[in-house]
Amino acid sequence: MDLKLALIGTPIQHSLSPWIHQQFLEKAGMNGEYQLFEILPEESFEDRVMELKGMGVDGFNVTVPYKQKIFPFLDEVDKNAVKAGAVNTVVRRNGKWIGYNTDGTGFLRSLKTYYPSVNPSMQILLIGGGGATRGIYYAMAAAGYENIDIANRTTKKAEEIAELSEGAVHTTVLDLDNAQEQLKKYDVIIQTTSVGMKPYTDHSIMPLDGLKQGAIVSDIVYQPLKTAFLLQADELGADTHLGHTMLLYQAQHAFEIWTGKNVDVEEMDNKLMKILE
Ligand code: ATR
């Protein structure tokens, strides 16, 4: 049977998800389609979601600006997505619509793939206070990471995220200046905001001088492939982790939720880089 998948959001014309999932379908030896189902701001969100469900889709991705708005239209929401406050993947299972969030888990899968030495006892610094920060924070806390500090321009937003903490995670909230002064402390530094994204490619959220030797520096921005933040990390001799890999691994986890199949994404990395260059 053909798998029917879709993406809702707006604007989505330039989304890379159809390309990624088409490759996954081929790799998994499955027939199917992944279509763009744009919902414009002036349209009734409810009517369009009903229309989508009525089309017999097996699952769909949700992107901006609907990751929160989709909640009332789901029968169940996975704990991960509840904590993240956002759903990016929906599956129809036994007639029920179930929401998940694979952004944070995808990020962590990607980080662990490129840097297998990363482990829960390391000192982690997340920079940011938006939806992506929240998703990554919770995925790492749920995976047992013990020390995850959060630095944000507006510390109140970081404090709200830290309140999500559960289990063993220990979190200190910092402002950006404080974090910069204490950079030496961190094994992994993760930039989780849109700062540095095209066309503002010379912007960097924080100078990285004083970085610990051997630190890993990550940025979720993938346009440009290497942000000013990561270029400075390079100059300082740090290891870098690029944002486009999160895109691949969040999709891998979504595909797994829809099909139960774990497709290999490593060889797609270079292809995706070429598309983004
Ligand atoms: P989301 O992840 O929800 O899409 P985003 O718009 O990409 O969010 O990024 C929001 C985050 O970027 C916030 O943490 C914001 O800081 P504030 O909480 O202080 O608003 C941060 N941010 C955006 N522009 C920034 C800048 N020029 N300097 C520092 N932080 C900035």
User: Are both 19 and 96 inside the same structural domain?
Assistant: yes
Q: What is the DSSP letter of 268?
A: H
Phi, psi of 155 (to 5 degrees): -65, -25
Interval 33-92: pLDDT, tens: 999 999 999 999 999 999 999 999 999 999 999 999 999 999 999 999 999 999 999 999
Closest ligand 1 atom to the C-alpha of 132? 2
- Whichever domain contains 26, its CATH number is 3.40.50.10860
Residues 6+ apart with CB under 8 A from 87: 62, 67, 68, 70, 71, 74, 77, 81, 99, 100, 101
Whether the Cβ atoms of residue 66 and residue 83 lie closer than 8 Å to each other:
no
- Residue with CA nearest ligand 1 atom 24: 195
Mean pLDDT, the chain, whole residue set = 96
The C-alpha atoms of residue 115 and residue 216 are separated, in whole angstroms, by 8
- Provide the number of structural domains found in the chain: 2
- Examine the domain organization and report whether 35 and 110 are in the same domain: no
- Of 158, 98, 100, give the one whose Cα is nearest residue 134: 158
Shared domain for 145 and 213, answered yes or no, is: yes
Report the first-to-last Cα separation within the chain, whole angstroms: 36
Tell me what pLDDT residue 64 has: 95
Cβ of 93 less than 6 Å from ligand 1: no
218 lines ligand 1 (CB under 6 A): no
Judging by beta carbons within 10 Å of its beta carbon (0-12, 13-18, 19+), is residue 258 exposed, middle or buried? buried
Residue 203 alpha carbon, nearest atom of ligand 1: 27
Q: What is the pLDDT of residue 202?
A: 97
Distance, CA of 127 to CA of 111 (rounded, Å): 16
pLDDT of residue 82: 94
Q: pLDDT tens digits for 140-149?
A: 999 999 999 9
Query: 32 with 64, same domain?
Result: yes
Distance CA 254, CA 247 (A): 11
53 and 127 belong to one structural domain: no
Whether 55 and 66 map to the same domain: the answer is yes
Asked whether residue 270 carries a pLDDT value surpassing 90, the answer given is yes
**pLDDT, tens digit, 9 for 90 and up, residues 174-224:** 999 999 999 999 999 999 999 999 999 999 999 999 999 999 999 999 999
Structure tokens at 184: 């030496």
Q: What pLDDT is stored for residue 165 in this prediction?
A: 77
Of the chain, the percentage scoring pLDDT greater than 70 comes to: 100
Q: Are residues 238 and 108 in the same domain?
A: yes
Domain span at residue 15 reads: 3-101+245-276
In a shared domain, residues 233 and 250 = no
Decide whether any atom of ligand 1 lies within 6 Å of the 194 Cβ: yes
Residue 194 buriedness (CB in 10 A; 0-12 / 13-18 / 19+): middle
- Are both 27 and 79 inside the same structural domain? yes
Residue 168 pLDDT more than 90?
no
Is residue 201 located within the same domain as residue 233? yes
**Residue 58 CA to ligand 1 centre (angstroms):** 34
The residue type of 128 is G
- CATH number of the domain bearing residue 226: 3.40.50.720
Which of 62, 64, 193 has most ligand 1 atoms within 8 Å of its beta carbon, as the pocket-test mutant? 193
Pairing of strands 89-93, 96-100: antiparallel
CA of 54 to the centre of ligand 1 (A): 37
Q: Taking residues 86-112, what's their average pLDDT?
A: 97
Q: For ligand 1, is residue 243 a contact (CB within 6 Å)?
A: no
One domain for residues 233 and 116: yes
Q: Are residues 165 and 112 in the same domain?
A: yes
